[in-house]
Amino acid sequence: MNPGRLDKRVSLMQPSAALGASGDPHAAESFTEFVTRRAEVKHLRGTELDRGRALHEEVQTKITVRYDSKTKILTSDWRIRIGQEVYDILAPIPVPGGRPEKIEIFCKSHGRSHG
């Protein structure tokens, strides 16, 4: 993994259940920042986009971060924030090898955050 390509700071956002007025934990969805990491962000085109779409039709962006105890627990329920832009995680995939050193996170844009 080339550390020079990790040129963006991203926030990994974990879902947190908030109780709605009805007491239903699914009534209001919110996210809290779990950890920040340096990342490589690629907006996909061409064959990379085709590869990503083989995983999920809506893939638009691939975010690569180091694989560690914090990033290995990512699921498609989480989100990633880069500045004011928020991305829904579609598929977090550790890069295969002896011991994974990075994880590729295929995402789609969720829109701008309000805050």
**Residue 73 backbone dihedrals phi, psi, to 5 degrees:** -95, 5
d(Cα 1, Cα 90) in Å, to the nearest integer?
22
pLDDT at residue 33, rounded to an integer: 94
Residues 34-71: tens digit of each pLDDT: 999 999 999 877 666 566 555 556 778 999 999 999 99
d(Cα 49, Cα 76) in Å, to the nearest integer?
18
Q: Of all residues in the chain, what percent are helix, strand and coil, respectively (each to 5)?
A: 15, 50, 35
Q: Please provide the size of the chain in residues.
A: 115
Token code pair at residue 2: 């080339």
Residue 9 structural domain: 3-112
Total structural domains within the chain: 1
What is the pTM assigned to this prediction?
0.75
Domain CATH for 9 = 2.40.10.270
